[in-house]
Amino acid sequence: MSTLLGAPAAVAAPGAASADTGTAPSASAGERSCPVVYFDLGETLVHTADDGSTTYLSGAASYLRTLREHHIRVGLITNVPPSWGTTDAERAARLKEEVDAAWRGPVPFAWADFGDRIRTPRTEAERKPSPVLWQRAKADSGRCRVVYQAETDQEVAVAASLGFVAYQVGRPHRPAFLPAGMVELLGRR
């Protein structure tokens, strides 16, 4: 059963299979195939200031580094204009350009960590909170346990309803992000 962590209430959802019997689509040799942690981008990993500049949110760069050190794959599920391209790769390339052009952080955004795991809407109807992006991310993750982290109740609830382990970031008296050790443990279940 998936869990909605860090939100006001738990939401039961169908569970994902516990073990990967093959290599998930984006795994490379030597890389663990499970779990996969997806994030919303804005106000989850990055902040856009009033002047339009963009930086990491507090703790986000170190959290991504920790996941990388633990060989935990990451992805993004984020709304961008569908007109930015005809494929996820094209829309992701435009997203990178937009974020990088406004970036003011001392360390560049870790785009390489996300590989081809950036899911964006193909149409306006696919924009979050429509379940389509989470469904695509889950299908692309094979039998791996999938985690979703975002700042909004609505997004974590949708993710949990689709079988993700969902964690709401930025809640008082809780870790800023789902601890890496817990993510690893979820991947072994």
Per-residue pLDDT tens over the stretch 63-107: 999 999 999 999 999 999 999 999 999 999 999 999 999 999 899
Identify whether 162 is part of a domain.
Answer: yes
pLDDT score recorded for residue 4? 53
Q: How confident is the model at residue 20 (pLDDT cuts 50, 70, 90)?
A: very low
pLDDT score recorded for residue 188? 79
**Residue 123 is inside which H or E element, if any?**
none
Contact residues for 175 (Cβ-Cβ < 8 A; gap 6+): none
| CATH number for the domain that contains residue 90 | 3.40.50.1000
Mean of the per-residue pLDDT values of the chain = 86
Given a cut of 80, whether residue 22 has pLDDT beyond it is no
Identify whether 24 is part of a domain.
Answer: no
Per-residue pLDDT tens over the stretch 127-161: 999 999 999 999 999 999 999 999 999 999 999 99
Taking the CB of residue 98, how many other CB atoms lie within 10 A of it?
A: 14
Per-residue pLDDT tens over the stretch 58-68: 999 999 999 99
pLDDT score recorded for residue 5? 53
CB-facing half-sphere around the CA of 101: CA atoms within 13 A: 7
Q: Which domain holds residue 177?
A: 4-8+32-188
Identify whether 53 is part of a domain.
Answer: yes
Number of domains in the chain: 1
**Mean pLDDT on 107-122:** 97
pLDDT score recorded for residue 8? 38
Identify whether 174 is part of a domain.
Answer: yes
Give the rounded percent of residues in the chain with a pLDDT score beyond 90.
Answer: 79
Range ranked top by mean pLDDT from 28-32, 33-37, 150-154: 150-154
Q: How confident is the model at residue 50 (pLDDT cuts 50, 70, 90)?
A: very high
pLDDT score recorded for residue 34? 86
Identify whether 77 is part of a domain.
Answer: yes
Q: What share of the chain is helix, strand, coil (3-state, %, to 5)?
A: 35, 15, 50
Given a cut of 60, whether residue 185 has pLDDT beyond it is yes
Identify whether 17 is part of a domain.
Answer: no
Identify whether 88 is part of a domain.
Answer: yes
Identify whether 183 is part of a domain.
Answer: yes
CA distances in angstroms from 20 to 13, 25, 39, 134, listed in the order given? 20, 11, 21, 19
pTM of whole model > 0.75? yes
